[in-house]
Amino acid sequence: MHVRITPSILNADFNNLDSEIAKVAADSDLIHLDIMDNIFVPNFTFDFGSASKIISNCPIPVDAHLMVAEVDRIGIEYAETGASSVTFHIEASENPEKLITEIKKRGVRAGVAVKPNTPFNEIIDLVNLVDMVLIMTVEPGFGGQSFMGDQMAKVAQVRAALNSTQRDVWLQVDGGISAETIEIATKAGADTFVAGSAVYKSEDPAEMVRKLRFLAENQLNNL
């Protein structure tokens, strides 16, 4: 397993995104971009035009996390922006198999996300199709919330299912990931970590990314 740190810019300074991204680019695997439409979640971040610009200007690959309604259509549009990975919520999709196929057809990694109250059962059949599973460890919508440790059973269920496939599927957690919680999520089976406020509220964001990676890799070696 390989540890990936994907900082979320949700809590960064939106007026200076280039320099905010530059702070962590050298130490991060991908930049996690949260797209919220104020329909699927009660918050709004970027419209398609602004998100596309961020994606094309980003010096490292972008992991687009779509928290939007009508994702069967919008997900395909995002797969054409140059994003490296497009993740949609199972709760927002009417035809997840088709959406995964359409995203992958464009040479983009396809991810499926589940909210805390959505059981693993809802995505069990998709594990063999996707490139990433995202287990939310907060209710999607806002940064800075507390990590939900009760989601670790679901992370472990996904890891067990992935262990029986030979495919390279990433297992991401998002919400409340920090130096205090990353080892818990690693132990449960996650290998890809979104961290928003832990990174951008720290004095030295790059150092925090390195610290998170060190903690996760260390925990992984001890498993």
Chain residues that interact with ligand DX5, rule: CB under 6 A: 8, 10-11, 32, 34, 65, 138, 140-141, 143-145, 174-177, 194-198
The encoded tokens of residue 84 equal: 């490296």
- Beta carbon nearer to ligand DX5, 64 or 103: 64
CA dihedral over 69, 82, 138, 192, signed as positive or negative:
positive
The 10 Å Cβ neighbour count of residue 61 is: 16
Q: How far is the CB of 176 from ligand DX5 (least distance, A)?
A: 5
Q: How far is the CB of 165 from ligand DX5 (least distance, A)?
A: 26
Backbone phi, psi, residue 164, to 5°: -95, 5
Residues acting as catalytic residues:
34, 174
Q: Which residue is nearest to Zn ion (CB)?
A: 65
Q: How far is the CB of 153 from ligand DX5 (least distance, A)?
A: 20
In this structure, the strands spanning 31-36 and 170-174 are unpaired
What is the number of alpha carbons within 13 Å of residue 195 lying toward its C-beta? 30
- Beta carbon nearer to ligand DX5, 130 or 177: 177
- Per-residue string for binding with Zn ion, 49-68, x by CB under 5 A? ----------------x---
Distance CA 200, CA 54 (A): 17
Binding site for Zn ion (CB under 5 A): 34, 65, 174
